[in-house]
């Protein structure tokens, strides 16, 4: 943690300060708004874009770009040199970021199985965290992340950036105010045109890849030719399928607009229909969620068929609202007549600014997608996948989402870890 960031935690702690001290405090807080924040970025697929976006914000320094693939790390460092005329250090082990006292925050955009452990380790090292979606690989990790953020008083933001889009925030407020009456149902969609991943073969690990560190907290497996760098998404050992990969964005908006937290019942149907290959996760999936207050959500995802459309729709007593993937919305009356439409944006930059402001103002809970909310939305993905994998309808505790009366399903609530990187809060 840089000295300027550390100092501001001690400003204004006395309740009995003089007027002069109050003036000094106000001045220090004003200065804090422009203080430099030093960041390290871990994982340079999505992190390549994030590193550029963070670097372009005022008074932000990207000190490290980190990837277990040295070619990716060097390429991203060169990219930032061209973008902001300052080249960060290209490194392969994210622990160097955590060990550096000058670093204020970790941006974690590594594969899913690294999201929670890296976040927990970062909080323990005194770093704030911007963690990509889904925030965790399994439900237990999400609970640990909330616990770690609270214990160490760190700002932890999940990368569901639509929570910061101004137009979408306006639309959600309108739903809450009754623009379509009582809202009782929401539908979410994802369509893509992914190809087959084929059948992998045992292969030598490339010289530029630290495969042991890539596996990190996951129990060890042999290197295969069709896993790294992207297809790990479609294996339960590291990924969460399309539901965790992209469904979390739309489900987060559904949950937000309905004003719900944990479901009471979940059921998933689907499977692998498009290709006969090594993929384990469904390429076609529909999940239904029920909530205690008479509300429900459905999510439909097709990874290998783009003959569909939509992002999120809400249905209420007096009409509906359709949300586009870019943050735009359209309101319809009961007769499906358009009433109002407004363009928007995804909120990418605003989400980053919200995270930076929480750090500068020492308000770790003042986040639009704070980890407690991020965990609830990610949990919907996990529960949908557990239902799919077990072939069971799940009954859940509406206070915390825990699966009830099903020991087999609850075995998927957490995972086993490689002991070197097992997270412990």
First to last CA, the chain: 20
- Tell me the residue range of the domain where 337 lies: 163-201+208-347+371-421
Higher pLDDT pick, 34 / 362 = 362
Measured at the alpha carbon of residue 113, what is the angle toward residues 109 and 118, in degrees to the nearest 5?
A: 60
Looking at residue 28, what is its pLDDT?
38
pLDDT digits (tens, 9 = 90+) for 90-143: 999 999 999 999 999 999 999 999 999 999 999 999 999 999 999 999 999 999
Looking at residue 17, what is its pLDDT?
32
- pLDDT category at 349 given cuts 50, 70, 90 is very high
The whole-chain average pLDDT of the chain stands at 93
Looking at residue 10, what is its pLDDT?
27
Contact 321, 175 (CB under 8 A): yes
- Taking CA atoms, 116 is separated from 65, 239, 252, in Å, by 19, 13, 18
Tell me whether residue 224 is in a domain: yes
Cβ neighbourhood burial of 287 (10 Å; 0-12, 13-18, 19+): buried
**149 and 173 belong to one structural domain:** no
**55 and 109 belong to one structural domain:** yes
**259 and 395 belong to one structural domain:** yes
Higher pLDDT pick, 176 / 6 = 176
* Rounded Cα–Cα distance for residues 104 and 149 (Å): 14
Tell me whether residue 357 is in a domain: no
Mean per-residue pLDDT, 395-420: 97
**105 and 214 belong to one structural domain:** no
Looking at residue 42, what is its pLDDT?
98
Tell me whether residue 52 is in a domain: yes
Tell me whether residue 365 is in a domain: no
Looking at residue 316, what is its pLDDT?
98
Give one word for 291, left, alpha or beta, with left for phi > 0 and alpha for psi -120 to 50.
Answer: beta
pLDDT digits (tens, 9 = 90+) for 3-30: 333 333 322 323 333 333 333 333 334 4
- Taking CA atoms, 391 is separated from 199, 383, 387, 394, in Å, by 25, 12, 6, 9
**Where does a domain end: 127, 143, 160?**
160
Nearest residue to 186 (alpha-carbon basis) of 373, 302, 329: 329
The full DSSP string for 183-239 is EEEEEEEEE-B--------B-PPPTTB-HHHHHTTSPP---BTTTTTTGGGGSTTT-
CATH code at position 91? 3.40.50.720
**Where does a domain end: 100, 131, 160?**
160
Tell me whether residue 312 is in a domain: yes
Tell me whether residue 149 is in a domain: yes
Q: Centre a 10 Å sphere on the Cβ of residue 37 and count the other Cβ atoms it contains.
A: 21
The two structure tokens encoding residue 327: 């943050």
The two structure tokens encoding residue 425: 């809060």
Tell me whether residue 131 is in a domain: yes
- pLDDT category at 217 given cuts 50, 70, 90 is very high
Looking at residue 32, what is its pLDDT?
53
**Whose structure tokens read 């997270």?**
423
Q: Helix or strand or coil: residue 270?
A: strand
Cβ neighbourhood burial of 156 (10 Å; 0-12, 13-18, 19+): buried
Backbone angles phi, psi at 124, to 5 degrees: -65, -25
Looking at residue 33, what is its pLDDT?
56
Q: Is the dihedral of CA 266, 270, 272, 275 positive or negative?
A: negative
pLDDT digits (tens, 9 = 90+) for 50-73: 999 999 999 999 999 999 999 999
Mean per-residue pLDDT, 262-279: 98
Contact 334, 315 (CB under 8 A): no
**44 and 174 belong to one structural domain:** no
Mean per-residue pLDDT, 276-290: 98
Looking at residue 16, what is its pLDDT?
32
**57 and 180 belong to one structural domain:** no
CA 425 distance to own-chain centroid? 20
**255 and 217 belong to one structural domain:** yes
The total of structural domains in the chain comes to 2
Q: Centre a 10 Å sphere on the Cβ of residue 300 and count the other Cβ atoms it contains.
A: 18
* Rounded Cα–Cα distance for residues 7 and 254 (Å): 40
**132 and 221 belong to one structural domain:** no
Mean per-residue pLDDT, 75-98: 98
* Rounded Cα–Cα distance for residues 388 and 383 (Å): 9
Contact 185, 398 (CB under 8 A): no
Looking at residue 321, what is its pLDDT?
98
CATH code at position 416? 3.30.360.10
Mean pLDDT lowest among 16-25, 95-104, 256-265, 304-313: 16-25
Residue 80 has pLDDT above 50, yes or no: yes
Find the radius of gyration of the CA atoms of the chain: 22
Contact 318, 180 (CB under 8 A): yes
Mean per-residue pLDDT, 251-272: 98
Higher pLDDT pick, 43 / 33 = 43
**15 and 92 belong to one structural domain:** yes
Tell me whether residue 364 is in a domain: no
Residue 180 has pLDDT above 50, yes or no: yes
* Rounded Cα–Cα distance for residues 252 and 371 (Å): 12
Contact 348, 193 (CB under 8 A): no
pLDDT digits (tens, 9 = 90+) for 135-168: 999 999 999 999 999 999 999 999 999 999 999 9
**195 and 144 belong to one structural domain:** no
Looking at residue 265, what is its pLDDT?
98
Q: Does the pTM of the predicted model rise above 0.95?
A: no
- pLDDT category at 410 given cuts 50, 70, 90 is very high
**106 and 228 belong to one structural domain:** no
Strands 37-42 and 60-66: parallel
Looking at residue 169, what is its pLDDT?
98
**282 and 416 belong to one structural domain:** yes
Mean per-residue pLDDT, 34-49: 96
């Amino acid at each position: 943690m840089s000295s300027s960031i550390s100092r501001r935690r001690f400003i204004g702690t006395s309740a009995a300060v003089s007027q002069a001290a109050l003036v000094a405090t106000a001045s220090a807080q004003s200065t804090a708004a422009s203080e430099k924040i030093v960041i390290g970025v871990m994982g340079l697929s999505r992190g390549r874009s994030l590193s550029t976006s963070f670097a372009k914000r005022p008074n932000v320094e990207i000190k490290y770009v980190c990837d277990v693939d040295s070619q990716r790390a060097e390429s991203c460092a060169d990219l930032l040199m061209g973008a902001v005329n300052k080249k960060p250090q290209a490194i392969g082990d994210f622990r160097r970021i955590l060990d550096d006292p000058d670093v204020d925050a970790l941006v974690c955009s590594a594969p899913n199985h690294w999201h929670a452990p890296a976040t927990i380790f970062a909080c323990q090292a005194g770093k704030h965290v911007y963690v990509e979606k889904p925030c965790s690989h399994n439900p237990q990790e999400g609970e640990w992340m909330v616990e770690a953020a609270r214990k160490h008083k760190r700002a932890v933001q999940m990368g569901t950036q639509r929570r910061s889009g101004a137009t979408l925030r306006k639309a959600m407020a309108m739903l809450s105010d009754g623009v379509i009456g009582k809202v009782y149902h929401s539908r979410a969609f994802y369509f893509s045109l992914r190809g087959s991943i084929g059948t992998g073969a045992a292969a030598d690990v490339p010289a530029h890849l630290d495969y042991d560190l890539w596996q990190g907290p996951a129990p060890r497996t042999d290197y295969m030719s069709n896993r790294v760098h992207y297809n790990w998404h479609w294996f339960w050992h590291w990924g969460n399928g399309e539901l965790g990969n992209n469904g979390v964005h739309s489900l987060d908006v559904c949950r937000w607009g309905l004003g719900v937290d944990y479901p009471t019942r979940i059921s998933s149907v689907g499977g692998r229909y498009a290709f006969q290959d090594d993929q384990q996760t469904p390429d076609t999936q529909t999940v239904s969620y029920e909530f205690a207050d008479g509300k429900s959500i459905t999510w439909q995802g097709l990874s290998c068929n783009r003959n569909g459309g939509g992002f999120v729709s809400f249905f209420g007593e007096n009409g509906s609202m359709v949300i586009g993937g870019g943050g735009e919305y359209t309101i319809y009356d009961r007769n499906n007549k358009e009433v109002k439409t407004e363009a928007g944006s995804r909120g990418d930059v605003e989400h980053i600014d919200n995270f930076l402001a929480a750090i500068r103002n020492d308000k770790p809970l003042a986040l639009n997608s704070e980890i407690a909310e991020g965990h609830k939305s990610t949990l919907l993905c996990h529960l949908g996948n557990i239902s799919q994998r077990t072939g069971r309808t799940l009954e859940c505790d509406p206070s915390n989402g825990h699966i009830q009366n099903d020991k087999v399903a609850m075995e998927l609530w957490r995972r086993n870890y490689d002991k070197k990187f097992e997270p412990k809060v």
